[in-house]
Amino acid sequence: MVNTGRRNVLEDCTIRLDPAAKPFNAGIALVHPQSELTWKNCLFASTGSAVRTWFEDVSAAGCRAVANHCPPATTFIVKGAEKPLSVDEWRALGFDQP
């Protein structure tokens, strides 16, 4: 899902990538640095990346990730980060707190 809009909401959905998806693909791509996307109670049913941002300061984008579920090996690609973030590193940014 590519989010180019503002203040959209994804709720109670399953996000699944094609098994043949390239490693740089993600279930949600955040394009706009002020997107304010909210996704909550979503199931990321694929391994690989759940979220990819096309901007560096994901915390300043006003996004909210609440009570989502993903496999333990899921990663999060944040522009400017040296490597994809783990689930714990993603949560340290304030997203998807258990």
Q: For residue 46, is pLDDT > 90?
A: no
pLDDT band at 97 (very low <50, low <70, confident <90, very high): confident
Distances in Å between the alpha carbon of 29 and those of 48, 52, 54, 93? 13, 5, 7, 17
Q: What is the pLDDT of residues 52-92, one digit of tens each?
A: 999 999 889 999 999 999 999 999 999 999 999 999 999 99
Domain boundaries, the chain: 2-92
The pLDDT tens digits of the residues spanning 4-21 come to: 889 999 999 999 999 898
- Amino acid letter, 34: Q
Per-residue pLDDT at 19: 87
